[in-house]
Chains A and B, each alone.
Chain A
Amino acid sequence: MRGIKELIEEAGRCVRCGACKSVCPTYDVLRREQSGPRGRLSLVEASFKGESGFGGAYLKNIKECTLCGSCHSNCPNGVNIPELILAARAEGVEKGGLSLAESFAYRGLLHSERFMQAALRLASRLQGLFLKGTAFENGLVSRFSLPVIGGGRLLPELADEFFLDRSHIEELSPSATPVRGKKGGVLRVGFFAGCGVNYLLPDIGEATIRVLKESGAEVVVPQQVCCGMPAYSAGDRRTARDLALKNLEAFEASGVDIITTSCATCGHGLKKVFAELLSDEGLQMRSRVERFASMVRDITELLTGELPYKGGEKGKKGGVVTYHDPCHLRRYQGISEEPRRLLSKSVFTFKGMKHPCRCCGLGGGVGFANYELSMEIAKEKASSVRATGADVVATACPGCMVQLKDALYQSGVKARVAHVVELL
């Protein structure tokens, strides 16, 4: 893990050319220098060099970053601004602690899976009090303005039965000719569900398991906790580290050949962030976490790699599908062709959208901390989708899906949002 000092040094390579502004979703919407990468870098640099404070304006601007990574991909000098922002957020948490709401969310809820489950189960039963159904596909609109949430926002409905509570998912045999793993037996795949699938979109989990079995794998769903990425993005590394360790232990005990997830954000967490969080804990831990990371595949990567998806029904009778690239999949994991290849094997006709890899606006905690900004960013995505005339928008991240559903609803675009695996 690179510390703030090293990252500030790297920021010295910035020549203030401004190229990053052209790809930054928040700059595009807000058109203020401090709301773009060059301004954020300048603020962090000045604050840590003691030339400027860590006050309200500083915090507001570093919290506005979605961490989409476009600025880093486009920097001629390779300055990793998102990593700098993350480190600055982490320093903020170390120095000033978390706000009350953040502390409740990250330390209270995420940290204790039992408390989180209980709280959300209660919420699942009470949601009708605050939220009303829409004529749209599954989703609820807040009846009146709630703290943090605000009125009129399309929220994903909490699942009646959470995915990880379902008894039929514990251990499953392949439903087609088995594929062999390296050890000779049937390829044993551990599924990491993630909170999006578990609490909100369990159908993705069901679809993932179905496709894995149909492709010839044995599937296991070990007892697991949140991947920790929401806490990590907010700068709360302590919570993120504890969650990483719990998950590492759970999957090590399950004896799997491969670990897969259908969440782009969790995937980035499992592949790279776990190692970053646990890297300082001795050689033995390092080799454990490296081995763990080397087993992780995004579901679209697995189905175009070790466990090839053969394709189901023939013919293109499913309508038109377009695809949105999740930041955590395309820029953080370098996966962009795989989901498109899978879609080309589905019954849908593929049609690309304009700017498919522009951030949906949810990431980096922006959807939680600054809903209005997050929706402003998402508007462009909604109009890209509208221009394709697609019946379905596919993506590979439950977070993006929640955001896209809301954005399409707000913009009146009548396209369904689905995970790639749900279309196979």
Chain B
Amino acid sequence: MLKATARDEITGIVGKGNASFGKEELLCYSYDATNSLYPPDGVVFPGGPEEISRILRLANTEGFPVIPRGAGTGFTGGALAVEGGVILSLERLKGIREIDTANLTADVEPGVITGDLQAEAERLGLFYPPDPTSLKFSTIGGNIAECAGGPRAIKYGVTRDYVLGLEVVMPTGEIITTGTKKTMKGVVGYDLTRLMVGSEGTLGVVTRAFLRLLPLPEAKRTMLVEFLSLEDAAGAVEAVINAKVVPSTIEIIDDVCIRCVEKYAKVGGLASVEAVLLIEVDGKETGVQDDVARIRRIASERGAKTFWVASGRDEEKDIWNLRRAISPSLSKVKPTKLNEDVVVPRSNLVGLITGIEDIASKKGVVIASFGHAGDGNIHVNVMVDKNNAAEMQRGMDAVKDIFELTISLGGTISGEHGIGIAKASYIGMELSAEAIEVMRGIKKALDPNGILNPGKIFPKAFRQPQHA
């Protein structure tokens, strides 16, 4: 619990309208997209790094946890107050300070919605490629904290590949800048930028990000390819990569997912197919035409049932709306989703897909798979009902089997969602005890009192959610 004097001090730092301790506000900042509830003791809306610094210094003396929060749309509980404390909402820091068309860089505050930055860059003929599915509502700050990826990672990489430098408030209150602001190169000292990206709000609070942009590709084509089996679809993905074609996106969608979003389908006849690939290519107009022709040929050799190219922006939008609706719509299958985002080397994609099908039938659970097949990153959703203890246990067992399978195929247990609380108990499957100790050492050195986002990443017992 927060002492009354601490509340007064927090309010004094940010001003009356920017700190809340009322039950209603706390309730609204108690959840994220994991849909579990951990009410905090307070919510604070700082206006800049100096205020954040003062709050963190106070937290160190008073000993309360501080949990940075962007849009609260994460899948692993990164923004949840699992040990109580104060939610540090960055919603007020929403300025795009500069888009530099000469240096192809952007200077943004953490509360900027990723899609808004993309739209603004696009207006100037530029391109910010990282495209997590939540891009219309998640923020740059959250994307950096989790090192968000997205469909375009196959060609363009992930958030970390676009962060040149950061302004960060350290857990003990110092305000530092890391990396560079406008240069592509920079090797002075340790790469603290890379350390911060993906640190899940446990090592510092990002208050400004200096990002790299690209010129907007001139042309783009979006394709929807239907298959009669998931293996055929996965095989086609491998064949496209082997043919040295690099699409900007190859998404795979299995039959369970198709059934959930059929009603959004304005195109194609999804009813009788078992798997769909959503492929996008971009670049010069002549190049994309050539790519479409090559992909069409490969797909037909690999048993594609239909091959369809979107004819304009509206059809492209329809396809992406369908794709983005999958994850939230899965609750139609079963109320509880054990949502994993494993990655394997692309050449092992078929092995992962067939292995998951085996696990589903062996454990007797429904598994819905979709995701970024192009870079080997599959969203594996074990669908269960948390009120059915036996089914829940079978689901948890299936998750463990999926992680073992992934690691045996040379993969990693989380590609882009982070660890948070959802996967903390599994990190030992992938990381050695020594590697985990090095990480703990870093955390201890930067946050000696453990006040910044405690309970995340490392396995630890914490309180139960109010209701999940």
Contacts and interface: CB of A to CB of B under 8 A. Distances in A.
Contacts of A39: 28
Kindly state the interface size class of chain A when it binds its partner.
20 to 34
B73 interface: yes
Interface stretch (B148-156, B244-252, B328-336, B454-462): B328-336
Contacts, number: 82
B76 to A, nearest CB: 13
Nearest to B26: A52
A129 interface: no
B386 interface: no
Nearest to A43: B24
Contact of B31 (A21, A42, A53, A77): A42
A33 B33 contact: no
Nearest to B330: A15
Given A15-B33, A16-B32, A21 B24 contact: no
Given A19-B137, A22-B137, A34 B329 contact: no
Contact of A76 (B45, B92, B113, B328): B328
A22 B115 contact: yes
A31 B91 contact: yes
Given A16-B31, A17-B33, A31-B92, A76 B25 contact: no
A19 B31 contact: no
Contacts of A16: 31-35, 72
A21 B32 CA distance: 13
A55 B23 CA distance: 10
A18 B71 contact: yes
A22 B22 CA distance: 25
A34 B25 CA distance: 7
Kindly state the interface size class of chain B when it binds its partner.
35 or more
B111 interface: yes
B327 A32 contact: no
A52 B23 contact: yes
Contacts of B23: 52-53, 57
Contacts of B22: 57
Contacts of A57: 22-25
Interface string B91-103: 1101000000000
A18 B115 CA distance: 14
Nearest to A53: B23
A13 interface: yes
A31 B111 contact: yes
B136 interface: yes
SS class, residues of chain B in contact with chain A: loop
A58 interface: yes
A43 to B, nearest CB: 6
Interface string B134-147: 10111000000000
B134 A17 contact: yes
Most buried by B among A16, A43, A57: A16
A21 B33 CA distance: 13
B328 A17 contact: yes
A15 B28 CA distance: 14
A46 interface: yes
A42 B94 CA distance: 24
A31 to B, nearest CB: 4
Nearest to B75: A17
Most buried by A among B24, B115, B134, B332: B24
A77 B329 contact: yes
B403 interface: no
B73 A17 contact: yes
17 contacts: A14-B35, A15-B33, A15-B35, A16-B31, A18-B71, A18-B73, A18-B138, A19-B136, A22-B115, A32-B28, A33-B91, A52-B24, A57-B22, A57-B23, A57-B24, A61-B24, A77-B328
Given A32-B25, A32-B91, A33-B28, 16 more contacts: A15-B33, A15-B337, A16-B34, A16-B35, A18-B137, A19-B137, A21-B71, A31-B92, A32-B28, A33-B72, A34-B25, A34-B28, A52-B23, A52-B24, A57-B22, A77-B329
Interface of B: 22-25, 27-29, 31-35, 45, 71-73, 89, 91-92, 94, 111, 113, 115, 134, 136-138, 324-325, 327-329, 331-332, 337
The 8 closest A-B pairs by CB, nearest first: A76-B328, A57-B24, A39-B28, A22-B137, A18-B73, A33-B28, A22-B136, A34-B28
